[in-house]
């Protein structure tokens, strides 16, 4: 991501289509942005553009334990505030979201705020063994599996027509991609204090693992064991307290609700 200092504040933004978007270029040097930044805590990381931008910012900076404030200049902006906060005095609240982490053996591969996507990259199906608590197991043959946090359930999970979870649920959701055995398998919702162990079995296919849309590991016909669990590290995001910028409201609207007129 592009990183600049404005009014003594750390500002990160996506350079995606920056050259084509003159209005966003103007915002980066505008007095309205500078005025807004003067009121912000120097320890806050300001992220401009879209949801992918703040995910990238978190991936690069989560170990710093800063607070992230995102401002949407792109699409839906589930994790960001509307650009109107630059012009209107807003109050904010801090929302804390635990990260998911994935281990291969003893090695920490990555963390994710939204989701892990595990899939074969040779066009074949994955033959997997899932275990919870070391007492319950499920054998699967399918194209892949998505493991999403509640905040991430609005993304890839939702595009596969599976349920969106309220952001404050202490859980995560396992979403099948084209399940073959067992057929018609619905998503599996687990408490976030449970560890999920995923092992390859039977025919070994090359596997790719993505964290929040980024490729983080690739295994070539190896017998692997992955452990997914809630991380001890959480991310703090600032959201406007105004109803018009409410993330909870957006989650409801994504499921078909509309706002009641006064």
Are residues 179 and 142 in contact, defined by beta-carbon separation less than 8 angstroms? yes
Count Cβ neighbours within 10 Å for each residue of 4-43 and write b for 16 or more, e otherwise: eebeebbbbbbebeeeeeeebeebeeeeebeebbeebeee
Are 63 and 45 spatial neighbours (Cβ–Cβ below 8 Å)? Answer: no
Catalytic residue among 51, 117, 127, 212: 51
Q: How many helices (H) and strands (E) does the chain have?
A: 5, 16
Which residue pairs, CB below 8 angstroms and at least 24 apart, start in 35-44? 35/86, 36/85, 36/86, 37/6, 37/7, 37/8, 37/9, 37/11, 38/7, 40/9, 40/69, 41/67, 42/8, 42/9, 43/67, 44/9, 44/10, 44/68, 44/69, 44/238
Is 143 a catalytic site residue? no
Give the CA-trace dihedral at 41, 43, 45, 46, to 10 degrees: 20
- Provide the annotated active-site residues: 51
């Amino acid at each position: 991501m592009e990183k600049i200092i404005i009014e003594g504040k750390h500002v990160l933004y996506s350079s995606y289509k920056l050259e084509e978007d003159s209005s966003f270029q103007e915002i980066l040097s505008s007095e309205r942005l500078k005025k807004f930044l003067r009121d912000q805590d120097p320890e806050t990381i300001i992220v401009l553009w879209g949801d992918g931008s703040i995910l990238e910012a978190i991936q690069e900076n989560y170990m710093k334990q800063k607070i992230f404030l995102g401002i949407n200049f792109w699409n839906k902006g589930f994790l960001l505030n509307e650009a109107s906060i630059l012009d209107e005095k807003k109050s904010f609240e801090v929302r804390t979201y635990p990260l998911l982490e994935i281990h291969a053996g003893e090695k920490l591969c990555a963390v994710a705020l939204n989701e892990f996507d595990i899939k074969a990259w040779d066009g074949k199906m994955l033959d997997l063994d899932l275990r919870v608590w070391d007492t319950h197991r499920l054998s699967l043959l399918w194209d892949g599996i998505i493991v999403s946090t509640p905040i991430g359930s609005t993304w890839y999970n939702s595009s596969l027509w599976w349920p969106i979870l309220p952001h404050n649920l202490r859980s995560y959701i396992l979403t099948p991609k084209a399940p073959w055995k067992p057929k018609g398998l619905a998503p599996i919702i687990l408490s976030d204090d449970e560890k999920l162990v995923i092992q390859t079995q039977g025919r070994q296919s090359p596997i790719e693992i993505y964290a929040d849309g980024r490729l983080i590991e690739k295994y070539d016909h190896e017998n692997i064991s992955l452990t997914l669990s809630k991380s001890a590290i959480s991310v703090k995001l600032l959201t406007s307290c105004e109803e018009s910028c409410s993330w909870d409201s957006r989650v409801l609207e994504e499921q078909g609700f509309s706002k009641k007129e006064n």
